[in-house]
Amino acid sequence: MSDNGVIFKATKDGLIIIMNKELEFDEIYNEINKKLISAGNFFKGASLGVKYRGRKLSEEEIKIICELMTQKTETTISSFEEETNNLGFNTDIKEENTIKENGFIKYDMRKETYSNDIKSILHSREEEGITKFYRGTVRSGQLISYDGNIVILGDVNPGAEIQAGGNIIVMGWLRGTVHAGMYGNDKAIVASLSLQPVQLRIANIITRPPDEQKYESPSVPEIAFVKDNMIFIESFLPQK
Amino acid sequence: MLQSIMNFFGKTKPSKEVAKDRLKLVLIHDRANVSPQFLEMIKSEIIKVITNYIEIDESELEIQLTRTQSEDGQGIVPALIANIPIKNVKTKTK
Amino acid sequence: MGEVIVITSGKGGVGKTTTTANVGVGLAMRNKKVALVDADIGLRNLDLVLGLENRIVFDLVDVVEGRCKLRNALVKDKRFDGLYLLPAAQTRDKTAVKPEQMIKLCNDLRKEFDFVLIDCPAGIEQGFNNAVVAADRAIVVTTPEVSAVRDADRVIGLLEAKELRNPRLLINRIRNDMVRRGEMMSIEDVKDILAVDIIGIVPDDEKIVISTNRGEPVITDGKSLAGQAYNNIARRILGEDVPLLDLEGHDEGFMLKLKKFLGIKN
């Protein structure tokens, strides 16, 4: 994942600290300290819900880390607990529907009619965070930006821009430019009843429709998501 | 050329000529930066002076900037034209 | 050092953006390095005319506000090497850019490109000032209509006041059949009124609408009359002496034949 012993992962609910289980607590402490310094004012004034995983922490250790964080970043720690589900990770969830065959993991199509990828997206979202609802047509030159998710009850016209820290759902035509997971969350998705964006971005990945004039996107609701650093688009209705 | 012959036979002026005439007039105003307020100022000043000598119909007084043939016939020059209907010449002068 | 040319008009809808796109392509076709700058912040359209709308990541405002490098905001054209677009921001307005920033931007572009063409917004407010502030030359686009000619005159006056002497006139959307009937001002009529040199005339051509629909500048269609007209303009910018396009004979009607027969010149 990374050669660092500690990884910070921002979610809409707060922060996840992923620790390398090989490291001693002292080393963990130093890594967290370094990370907090490099984050600068990013967390300043925020109230953070912190979850950790990768390693067990004692009450004492939790207390030490909490103190360090409050002191270094001027944040309030609203909670600090071990992460129990694998929120933000979808790899494990597929397991229940997969069977191992000759050493290969194979998806069991009989159990679900959703594709592997969409299923994992749908299943990995138990806590989604705050959402902004916008009713009406978003027209050219309008920008809707929100740290959480955005739901548009209307169309998004060419020249309009939607930016969300989380997911973007358009209950209408999507013909503008959208950026989901704008702070780097590549688990974010974009879904629309008709997905025909000028440009679609998830996290740091940018895609646009092909140049061929004859290209026409199918008139079914679709979902865009990131897999292997590429944006994939699929129908999100169960496949027949 | 053909157009002028047609005009001769009583056809109305072609619209491009109308366009040119109107443009030339409006551009004189634009270029001289003469605003209607400016003309109003001139108008009120003129009225003030003239009414000392002549009784005029102030409501009918018209002032406009236009173009006219210059004195020496060398071309067109901008001109201020005032149309001042006189009601009565005052006999008493100051 | 490259040259900065602003394409302006005062009145909207006379063809500034189409002109910028086509002249830009025309220069790039002649192996010049060209940057097209859309200065119409809030109402960007040059990207659409060029068919580059879905490649935009950063824009002019991102550059002047330091969110990205100029190099990263320039969108490379998909057909011509050496042609780049600096798109306008769509979700901001004209006040997002200051004249000093525009001068800096143009000076940076000048170092990299042979020509920098600026597509000026309609109007004579801040957007206009930003667009013309760094220009070395100006092309004023007009159509043979009273409103467009009047606005062109106003703009020429403003350009001269800003020391942009001798702007060149481009007369767009000429309909020769109407000119012949005396129902549209001719090139000479417009030239007489505005008293500036003409850099080109472009006939009204339905191919412009078609090419704009497709996002392919009409100049790439060598057979179209408008395409030829833009080619001529590009050549004149490069200093060639090219006669104005002969619009006669392309829609030769009975009256014209009669006049030619009688030896009458229009």
Q: Which residues of C touch B2 (CB under 8 A)?
A: 255, 259, 264, 266
Reply yes or no on whether the pLDDT at A239 is more than 70. Answer: no
Q: Is the pLDDT score of C13 beyond 70? A: yes
Query: In the prediction, which pLDDT does A2 show?
Result: 44
**Partner C contacted by A142 (CB < 8 A):** yes
CB of C261 less than 8 A from some CB of B: no
Classify the phi-psi angles of C143: left when phi > 0, otherwise alpha if psi is within -120 to 50, otherwise beta: beta
pLDDT at A97: 42
Task: Note the maximum CA span of chain A.
Answer: 64
pLDDT at residue C32 above 90? yes
* Residues of C whose CB is below 8 A from A198: 53-54
Name the residue among C160, C169, C209, C258 with its Cα closest to residue C49. C209
Contact C77, C84 (CB under 8 A): yes
Cβ within 8 Å, pair C91-A143? yes
Would you call A141 and C91 a contact, using CB atoms and an 8 Å cutoff? Answer: yes
Alpha carbon C226 to its chain's center: 13
CA torsion, ordered B9, B10, B14, B20, to nearest 10 deg = 110
The distance of B22 to chain C (nearest Cα, Å) reads: 8
Residue matched to tokens 């494990």: A92
C184 close to B (CB below 8 A) = yes
Q: How far apart are the first and last CA of chain A?
A: 37
Domain ranges of chain B: 2-6+14-89
Interface test with C, best of B9, B11, B16 (most C CBs within 10 A): B16
Complete DSSP assignment for A56-111: ---HHHHHHHHHHHHHHH--EEEEEEE--S-TT--TTGGGGGEEEETTEEEE-TTT
* Interface touch A208/C54, C-beta < 8 Å: yes
**What's the CATH architecture for C3-262?**
3-Layer(aba) Sandwich (3.40)
Cα dihedral C194→C200→C204→C205 (10° resolution): -170
* Residue range C58-95, pLDDT digits in tens: 999 999 999 999 999 999 999 999 999 999 999 898 99
Please give the radius of gyration of chain B, using alpha carbons only, rounded to the nearest integer: 19
Within an 8 Å CB–CB cutoff, is residue A208 touching chain C?
yes
Q: What pLDDT sits at residue A120?
A: 62
pLDDT digits (tens, 9 = 90+) for C190-215: 998 998 999 999 999 999 999 999 99
Greater model confidence, A40 or C228: C228
CB-based contact, B33 to chain C, within 8 Å = no
Cβ of residue B20 closer than 8 Å to a chain C Cβ = yes
- Residue with structure tokens 């229009």? C266
* Mean pLDDT over each residue of chain C, to the nearest integer: 92
User: A14: pLDDT confidence band, cut at 50, 70 and 90?
Assistant: confident
What is the H or E stretch that residue C49 is in? helix C46-50
Burial class (CB in 10 A: 0-12, 13-18, 19+), A208: middle
ipTM field: 0.76
- C5 contact partners, CB below 8 Å, separation of at least 6: C115, C116, C117, C118, C135, C136, C137, C138, C139, C237
Closest CA to C118 of C38, C49, C41, C61: C38
Tell me: pLDDT of A93 over 90. Answer: no
CA–CA gap between residue A167 and residue A165 (Å, rounded): 7
- What are the structural domain ranges in chain C? 3-262
**What are chain A's domains?**
6-82 (3.30.750.50), 89-127 (no CATH), 130-235 (2.160.20.70)
Between residues C127 and A99, which one has the greater pLDDT? C127
* DSSP characters over A158-173: TT-EEEESS-EEEEEE
Closest chain B residue to C255, measured at CA: B2
Asked whether the whole model's pTM tops 0.90, one would answer: no
Contacts of C154 in chain B (CB under 8 A): 30
pLDDT > 90 fraction of chain A, expressed in percent and rounded: 33
Chains that touch C (3 or more CB pairs under 8 A): A, B
pLDDT at position B45:
85
d(CA A83, CA B4): 92
pLDDT of residue A88 exceeding 60: no
Q: Tell me the pLDDT of chain A averaged across its residues.
A: 77
Distance (Å, whole) CA A201 – CA A180: 6
Three-state DSSP class for residue B26: helix
B5 touches chain C (CB under 8 A): no
Say if the Cβ atoms of B19 and C146 lie within 8 Å. Answer: yes
- Describe chain C by its helix, strand, coil percentages, rounded to 5: 45, 15, 40
- Chain C CB contacts of A199 below 8 Å: 54-57
Q: Quick check: B16 and C184 CB within 8 A?
A: yes
Q: Which residues of B touch C259 (CB under 8 A)?
A: 2
Query: What's the rounded mean pLDDT across residues C156-174?
Result: 92
Residue C101: phi and psi, rounded to 5, are -65, -35
- The pLDDT score that the predictor gives to residue A26 is 85
CA dist C260 and A103 (Å) reads: 89
B1 vs C: CB within 8 A: yes
